Amino acid sequence: MHELREEELNSLRSQADIADVVGHYLSLVKKGKALSAVCPFHDDHDPSLNINTERQIYKCFVCGAGGNVFTFVRDYEKISFREAVAKVADMVGFKLSVDYAAPAIAIDPAIQRLYNVLKDSIQYTNYTLNSVQASEAKSYLKNRGIGDATIEKFAIGYNPENDELTRFLKAKGHVVEDLVKANVTRINEYGERDVFAGRITFPIHDPQGRPVGFSARTLQKDLAKYVNTAETPVYTKGKLLFNYHRARTFARQAGEMLIVEGVTDVFAFDRAGVYNVLATLGTACTKDQIRLLRQLGEKAVLCYDGDNAGQNATYKIGSLLLEAGFKLEIIPNTMGLDPDELCQKHGAEALAAFSRRRISWLDFLIEYRLKSVDLDNYSQKKEFVKVMMAEIDKVNDRFDREMLIQKISILTKLTNEQMSLLSPRKSDQNATPIQRKYGSAPSRLSKLDWAEKEILGQMLSGRSAALLFRDELGFLPQPLNNACAMTILDYYRNHNEIVLADFINTIAESEVVQLITDISNSEIYYKEYNEAALRDALTLCKTSMLDQQIERLKLESKQTDDIALRQNMAKRLEELRNEKLRLKQKTKEDLHGST
Ligand SMILES: [Zn+2]
């Protein structure tokens, strides 16, 4: 097989836009002009993968992954470079002069044999579903509303009794060792037996759409309802989601993904025309599964059963997704039917309508917690409020917070003040959006904080200090202190001096008022104009800001492979260091000048 000419490869590359190719796999987020995505190459929660459409490359600022359209497809799909070239050519409709689609270097042949075993198993079981011995299975599916279209689409099948599958696969030339490795056959004292004998089979695929195993349901009452493939070289329970490879495109288009409990729920939604649906295959969500989900977008809708197990699962998985930065909605299930049963009883239309009803995560939490709480019991009520206040504390939207607090206040007949005593962050309990935005300064900043307060104190006591600050520095590193400085500067535009009591009337933000009153109450900070002390404080702020910039730049330059960018950064770093040096010398001169 000969290779593609370089010109042809480049021509294909220029026709495949990096944003289109990455966007084929990941949902892209627009940040101003820049495009980014959640990085598939490390455990990413924020979109760290930068897509540079100008230079046609991608770059992750966290794990360092980077390259062009081909390396992206290669690394994402875990295929060879040639296969990736073929895929990209396919995507843009480019006709390659060489057939690259056939893998030149096959993935590990031992692994490929397992895929082949599973492919043939799916074909055989799917075929057998139409035989006489599968009549019970077929009528079971029919009763559950699973018709021929669904059976074909999901390649649902029946694994006959009497180890027929094993015999079929051996006749097809597979070796027993591979059958056992793929977990379709097991060997016990009676010999080689089908693992899923007498069960309806639902094939499971990996994110690349390769067959890796089965979820299999029995028709007998005394056996475990569902059995899944055991861990094999191609089937890792926590790394798979049922229907992922089919739901991927739909989830990205819809801007949300529906997460359900079982495979039959996926079928039910499919009948209702809802295709962005995945099932967690009975496991609690693992890190790997969350990573896969995050590649589909940031909004997840949970739709579990209405029973206790289902609600507990909703709570568990919801908490994990929330922690991973997902936006969450819950489909409230009060009917005691799972989506599959709902579809059977009320039809596909009703299920589609059901899937559009949503409540917020916190509304779900209130209901969920209330189930196990007796509000007439004092300590239970107290614990309930405590837990809910902690949850509410995580909510960013102030309106949402107020609504929730009011809701709980009505439920518990407690006042807002009483409830706030149970809030986890007492100092922050009445936090307004501004406090949340500014936060409180960590203690390691105390020296800097001291300098900033010194500046503010002097600005409050006289106009000259404010003007020197404006000319020499212009802003303060810490946000709340800076907001305070800006308020003071603004005031001096129309006033020659500050009369605190009057000044306070003109300030809208209560945090700024609080800070100003703190400082003006303090003997340390609030004092007469002292130029030397003020210049000291200004220099300290400047140095600290330079240090921060230098640190940031050093880090960024370490993480980039771009030589031109790195050179620019080095130049800027040099400038910053010189500036810092000048600042140091100037301070020395000032000191000598004053002595
Ligand atoms: Zn990364």
Give strand ranges (E) for 274-364: 277-279, 299-303, 327-330, 359-360
Ligand 1 centre to CA of 139 (Å) is 49
pLDDT at residue 220 greater than cutoff 70: yes
Comparison of pLDDT for 37 and 545, the residue scoring more: 37
Stretch (H or E) spanning 51: strand 49-52
Interatomic CA distance for residues 365 and 302, integer angstroms: 13
Mean pLDDT is highest, among 125-139, 271-285, 288-302, 446-460, for 125-139
**What pLDDT is stored for residue 519 in this prediction?**
77
Ligand 1 centre to CA of 558 (Å) is 15
Ligand 1 centre to CA of 47 (Å) is 9
Considering the entire predicted model, what is its pTM?
0.59
Ligand 1 centre to CA of 26 (Å) is 13
pLDDT at residue 437 greater than cutoff 60: no
Give the tens place of pLDDT for each residue, 371-407. 888 889 888 999 999 989 888 887 767 787 888 888 8
Ligand 1 centre to CA of 20 (Å) is 19
Ligand 1 centre to CA of 321 (Å) is 19
Q: How confident is the model at residue 445 (pLDDT cuts 50, 70, 90)?
A: low
Percent of the chain predicted with pLDDT > 90: 33
**What pLDDT is stored for residue 586 in this prediction?**
79
Ligand 1 centre to CA of 463 (Å) is 50
Ligand 1 centre to CA of 436 (Å) is 29
Ligand 1 centre to CA of 38 (Å) is 8
What is the longest distance spanned by two Cα atoms in the chain?
106
Interatomic CA distance for residues 59 and 68, integer angstroms: 9
Ligand 1 centre to CA of 111 (Å) is 27
Q: What is the mean pLDDT of the chain?
A: 85
Interatomic CA distance for residues 86 and 103, integer angstroms: 9
Ligand 1 centre to CA of 60 (Å) is 5
User: What is the average per-residue pLDDT within 256-264?
Assistant: 92
User: What is the average per-residue pLDDT within 4-14?
Assistant: 81
Residue 507 and residue 515 in contact, taking contact as beta carbons nearer than 8 Å: no
Ligand 1 centre to CA of 63 (Å) is 4
Ligand 1 centre to CA of 560 (Å) is 12
Ligand 1 centre to CA of 14 (Å) is 24
Alpha carbon 355 to chain centroid distance?
A: 22
Give the tens place of pLDDT for each residue, 99-154. 776 554 457 889 999 999 999 999 999 999 999 999 999 999 998 889 999 999 99
Comparison of pLDDT for 49 and 173, the residue scoring more: 173
Ligand 1 centre to CA of 67 (Å) is 12
Which DSSP string corresponds to 105-166? S-S-HHHHHHHHHHHHHHHHHHHHTTSGGGHHHHHHHHHTT--HHHHHHTT-EEE-STTHHH
Interatomic CA distance for residues 394 and 423, integer angstroms: 11
**What pLDDT is stored for residue 493 in this prediction?**
86
Nearest one of 86, 98, 79 to 4, comparing CA atoms: 98
Ligand 1 centre to CA of 61 (Å) is 7
User: What is the average per-residue pLDDT within 472-480?
Assistant: 85
**What pLDDT is stored for residue 333 in this prediction?**
81
Interatomic CA distance for residues 197 and 214, integer angstroms: 12
Ligand 1 centre to CA of 23 (Å) is 16
Ligand 1 centre to CA of 431 (Å) is 34
Give the tens place of pLDDT for each residue, 324-378. 878 899 998 877 778 888 888 888 888 888 888 999 888 898 988 888 888 898 8
**What pLDDT is stored for residue 106 in this prediction?**
52
**What pLDDT is stored for residue 518 in this prediction?**
75
Residue 229 and residue 206 in contact, taking contact as beta carbons nearer than 8 Å: no
Stretch (H or E) spanning 455: helix 446-461
**What pLDDT is stored for residue 296 in this prediction?**
86
Three-state secondary structure call for residue 190: coil
Which DSSP string corresponds to 526-581? -----HHHHHHHHHHHHHHHHHHHHHHHHHHHHH---HHHHHHHHHHHHHHHHHHH
Interatomic CA distance for residues 492 and 400, integer angstroms: 38
Ligand 1 centre to CA of 523 (Å) is 50
Ligand 1 centre to CA of 46 (Å) is 10
**What pLDDT is stored for residue 443 in this prediction?**
40
Q: Which of 198-207, 239-248, 301-310 has the lowest mean pLDDT?
A: 301-310
Residue 263 and residue 269 in contact, taking contact as beta carbons nearer than 8 Å: no
**What pLDDT is stored for residue 63 in this prediction?**
78
Q: How confident is the model at residue 278 (pLDDT cuts 50, 70, 90)?
A: very high
Sign of CA dihedral 135, 137, 138, 143: positive
Ligand 1 centre to CA of 65 (Å) is 6
The type of residue at 384 is: F
Strands 257-260 and 66-67: unpaired
The type of residue at 591 is: L
Residue 12 and residue 85 in contact, taking contact as beta carbons nearer than 8 Å: yes
Interatomic CA distance for residues 540 and 534, integer angstroms: 10
Percent of the chain predicted with pLDDT > 70: 92
Ligand 1 centre to CA of 59 (Å) is 8
Ligand 1 centre to CA of 48 (Å) is 6
At 303, give phi and psi (nearest 5°). Answer: -135, 85
